[in-house]
Amino acid sequence: MTGKLGIFPAAGGLGGSTLTHLLQRVPATELVLITRKPENLSKEQAAGATIRKGDFDDVQSLEHAFDGISTLNLISYPSFQHSHRFKVHKAAIDAALKSGVTHIHYSSLAFAGDGNPDTKAHVMLAHLDTERYLAQLHDRNPLFTYSIIRQGLYSESFPIYTAFFDVEAPSCEIRIPHDGSGPGLAWAKRDELGEATANLIAQHARDPASFPYVNKNVLLSGPRTWSLGETVDALSRVLRRPVSIHQVPVEEYIKQPRVHAGLGGEHLAPRWATAYDGIRAGECAVATPTLARILGREPESFETTIGHILSK
Same domain, 20 and 55: yes
Q: What pLDDT digit, counting tens, does each position of 71-85 carry? A: 999 999 998 889 999
Averaged pLDDT, 169-189 = 94
Q: Does the pLDDT value for residue 2 go beyond 70? A: no
- Cα–Cα distances (Å) from 140 to 90, 96, 133, 134, 217, in that order, read 15, 16, 11, 10, 19
For the ranges 33-37, 79-83, 94-98, 276-280, which has the lowest average pLDDT?
79-83
Question: What pLDDT is stored for residue 252 in this prediction?
Answer: 95
The mean pLDDT value of the chain amounts to 95
Same domain, 43 and 127: yes
The CATH code of the domain that includes 16 is 3.40.50.720
Entry pTM? 0.95
Q: What pLDDT digit, counting tens, does each position of 39-82 carry? A: 999 999 999 999 999 999 999 999 999 999 999 999 999 988 89
pLDDT band, residue 296 (cuts 50/70/90): very high
**How many structural domains does the chain have?**
2
Rounded CA-CA distance 261/280 in Å is 24
Averaged pLDDT, 117-143 = 96
Averaged pLDDT, 107-128 = 91
Averaged pLDDT, 236-265 = 93
With respect to residue 132, please indicate whether it lies within any of the assigned structural domains: yes
Averaged pLDDT, 303-309 = 93
C-alpha 122: how far from chain center: 15
The CATH code of the domain that includes 172 is 3.90.25
With respect to residue 295, please indicate whether it lies within any of the assigned structural domains: no
Contact between 85 and 93 (Cβ < 8 Å): no
Per-residue b/e over 3-36, b at no fewer than 16 CB within 10 Å? bbbbbbbbbebbbbbbbebbbebbebebbbbbbb
Contact between 44 and 19 (Cβ < 8 Å): yes
Same domain, 83 and 99: yes
With respect to residue 192, please indicate whether it lies within any of the assigned structural domains: yes
With respect to residue 273, please indicate whether it lies within any of the assigned structural domains: yes
With respect to residue 291, please indicate whether it lies within any of the assigned structural domains: no
Same domain, 206 and 67: yes
DSSP type of residue 87: H
Residue 163's domain spans which residues?
A: 156-184+223-286+301-311
With respect to residue 276, please indicate whether it lies within any of the assigned structural domains: yes
Same domain, 192 and 251: no
Higher pLDDT, 95 or 3: 95
With respect to residue 293, please indicate whether it lies within any of the assigned structural domains: no
With respect to residue 172, please indicate whether it lies within any of the assigned structural domains: yes
Question: What pLDDT is stored for residue 254 in this prediction?
Answer: 93
